[in-house]
Structure formats: structure tokens, C-alpha cells
Amino acid sequence: KAGVTQTPRYLIKTRGQQVTLSCSPISGHRSVSWYQQTPGQGLQFLFEYFSETQRNKGNFPGRFSGRQFSNSRSEMNVSTLELGDSALYLCASSLRGQGNSPLHFGNGTRLTVT
């Protein structure tokens, strides 16, 4: 079975721009969660989607948004980028959702904002 695929692996953007990150979950997994990893902060939860619906949300500003498609693929969008948005963005899929089955992570998208 193919694992979780995130594209692109690396991105460099300028302050004020917007960015879209993509995540393809493991086949059959209906839940996709997004996390932001920064040094010293660990993995900060952004949101979880299940069957195209946002099921849960972390404490991030509205500039961070996401969606899930009928094939379970998910996208995350960050608008009006700030320098502090530079981070590794990780996507994870699971069969039944965060509370009910282990998360399988992709290798992440490294976003650098200059």
C-alpha cells in the first residue's frame, strides 16, 4: 500500500503571498489531519477532515484553511503569509480518525517564507 504523499516537498514563498499544500492519504483512509512543526514547539494541530467535513480545528488564525475532496485527498491553504509561517507542514491519514486509529504521516512540506 502506498503511504501518505505530500506535495511539494519544499516551497519558498514571499511574505504576503498565499500557498496551497497537497496531501494524498493512504487508500481507504477517510481522515486527514494537518500539523505544523516548528523548532521548540513540537507538532501543533491545525485541523482534521473526515469524509469531506472539518471535524476538528486547532488554534490557528483564519489565514489557515483546508478542505477535503471526495477521494479523501486534502489541501491546506495559507493566505497572506508571514515569516512565522515558516515550518514543516505534516499531513497524517487514519482509517477512522484521530481518536480511533493511529495516524500515518507523510514526509511533510517544508515551507520557507522570506
Alpha-carbon gap, residue 6 to 89, rounded angstroms: 9
Number of continuous H segments (helices) and E segments (strands) in the chain: 0, 11
Angle at 18 between CA 20 and CA 35, to 5 degrees: 50
Give the binding range for another protein (CB under 8 A) out of 12-20, 61-69, 77-85, 98-106. Answer: 98-106
Reported as half-sphere exposure (CB side, CA atoms, 13 A), residue 75 has a value of 8
Reported as half-sphere exposure (CB side, CA atoms, 13 A), residue 14 has a value of 0
Rounded least distance, CB 106 to another protein, Å? 5
Decide if residue 89 touches another protein (CB under 8 A): no
Decide if residue 53 touches another protein (CB under 8 A): no
Decide if residue 86 touches another protein (CB under 8 A): no
Give the binding range for another protein (CB under 8 A) out of 11-19, 64-72, 76-84, 95-103. Answer: 95-103
CB contact at 8 A, 82 and 15: yes
Decide if residue 42 touches another protein (CB under 8 A): yes
Cell numbers standing for residue 104? 500515518
Decide if residue 84 touches another protein (CB under 8 A): no
> Per CB under 8 A, which of residues 57..76 are in contact with another protein?
58
Which residues of the shown chain bind another protein in the complex (CB under 8 A)? 4, 33, 35, 40-45, 48, 55-56, 58, 90, 92, 97-99, 102-108
